[in-house]
Amino acid sequence: DPMKSKTKSVGLVLAGALAGILVSVGLTALAQRSQRATLPLDELRQFSDVFGAIKANYVDAVEDKKLISEAISGMLSGLDPHSAFLDAKAFKEMQLNTSGQFGGIGIEIGVEDGFIKVISPIEDTPAERAGIRAADLIVKIGERPAKGISTTEAVELMRGKPGTSLTITVSRKGEPAPRVFTLERAVIKVQSVRSKMIEPGFAYTRITQFQEQTLPSLAKHLDQLASQGPLKGLVLDLRNDPGGLLQGALGVSAAFLPPKVLVTSTDGRNADARRRYNADPNDYARHGDDPIGQLPAVYKSVPMVVLVNAGSASASEIVAGALQDHKRATIIGTQTFGKGSVQTILPLSSTTAIKLTTARYYTPSGRSIQAKGITPDILVDEYADGDLSHLRVREADLKGHLGDANKPGSGGSTQGSSGSSTQTERKSGEDSAAAERGKSLTAEQINERLRNRKPVVFGSPEDWQLQQAMNHLKGRPVAKPASTQTAAARSDRIVD
């Protein structure tokens, strides 16, 4: 999973909601163009020859449908890491992910030492009502032993039609015998927004992904926070948020920006790929509703920090870039993922589609994010003892990734079939500083540090980056990176 640390396999799956990068920034269903491209006859004859050779000589019989589907998949996957053929299963999965609801039992799961572990039950779901707890280890799903299976397999086994039953067996620490739960699946709504008051006057809001319900949910949370007393500061947490719907990114940005200002622009080969998107209900609101239209005025001016890391991608980077360019918020954390391309969903039928990269997007000042990411205003490591974020895979590490276009309208260039990343892309900005600090550690020291580290619980009292965000909002010094030598070289980025 390119969005996670190479060293930790615990992820947010929500019993089937999300696994991996949610690469769609723009999710717009468009009719295929009536104008057909001229087909290259010689190449099509070659394709026909290969097709015939496989049908006649392959060791096993192969269905025509499989060969054609695989050919289409290869044609798209060879373009860049985010273009893809969506068969019936993948198309449905994408629709479920972006709608934010599915049929399941309602648990967040991960993998730990080969076991499927419950990270937490989701509030008001069959799993929570039945008494399933965080840290329970799932031993069996139905009659299928769960040890050694992937989270994706576990998700597929637990997801199902609302109203159907599922039996799972769990092992709980301190209890000698496993517990068996028989649950009735229900419609599970993923809560993409969470919030709390850290202390009087200081609010914390986390967005885990950008879905259809993210904007109305954010509006509800912000109203509740404002009702608890005068606000002195707000932290918007976009760490490990892999993105989602463009409209969500526009709306979240608009909640904090002046009306009508530019949020992002896109540039591509075709006219409909060249657009400007503003903090305007005409761009972010669906079905005529404006969920953030009546937000308290304080959200246009309250001091604000946005937390980002290497797992913040696509829609997250649009929000961070817009708030940074308009000087509305201070960006704190580490270099973001660098996914600055827009994918458009082009239906082929009622059940299949292609997801095609059609444009690059830019911040309001015209900065390209592709293969670079957002550089924080203040670099803060994920842990007090240093940062290993340079070990995480980013966009520039993906085979066949798009290159950066120098400016809107330039057309840019791609990496070509080799997909090799360049040092200027992979090690740009603050990411190069993280890499330099990491070089001072041996492999043994890195492994030892990883073994002794617990995963960050975002929003907890132990959350180091959040502690520094609070320091900044209160006008206190923000901790320098672990390597003082690197910090001194970039003292302009550090608040003392």
As annotated, the active-site residues are 314, 325, 339
Q: Are 252 and 319 spatial neighbours (Cβ–Cβ below 8 Å)? A: yes
Q: Which residue has the tokens 């001091």?
A: 303
Q: Please give the backbone phi and psi of residue 97, each rounded to the nearest 5 degrees, phi first.
A: -60, -45
Sequence-distant (≥ 6) Cβ neighbours of residue 486 within 8 angstroms: 433, 436, 437
Q: Are 403 and 370 spatial neighbours (Cβ–Cβ below 8 Å)? A: yes
Q: Which residue has the tokens 């082009």?
A: 346
Residue type, 131: G
Residue type, 113: D
Sign of the C-alpha dihedral computed for residues 369, 372, 376 and 381 taken in this order:
positive
Q: Which of 11, 16, 134 is nearest to 455 (CA)?
A: 11
Q: What are the distances in angstroms from CA 199 to CA 203, 225, 233?
A: 7, 11, 10
H/E run at residue 248: helix 246-254
- Cβ count near 292 (within 10 Å): 21
Rounded CA separation 421/61 (Å): 40
Backbone dihedral region of 15: left (phi > 0), alpha (psi from -120 to 50 degrees) or beta?
left
Rounded CA separation 122/159 (Å): 14
Rounded CA separation 478/339 (Å): 28
Rounded CA separation 98/93 (Å): 9
Rounded CA separation 290/35 (Å): 36
Q: Are 188 and 104 spatial neighbours (Cβ–Cβ below 8 Å)? A: yes
Backbone dihedral region of 79: left (phi > 0), alpha (psi from -120 to 50 degrees) or beta?
alpha
- What DSSP letter does each residue of 389-433 carry, written as one string? GGGS--GGGSTTPBPPPSSTTS---B-TTT-PPPHHHHT-HHHHH
3-state secondary structure of 112: strand
Q: What are the distances in angstroms from CA 426 to CA 338, 359, 391, 445?
A: 9, 21, 11, 23
Q: What are the distances in angstroms from CA 413 to CA 112, 372, 383, 399?
A: 41, 14, 37, 15
Q: Which of 412, 387, 392 is nearest to 479 (CA)?
A: 387
Residue type, 55: K
Rounded CA separation 453/383 (Å): 9
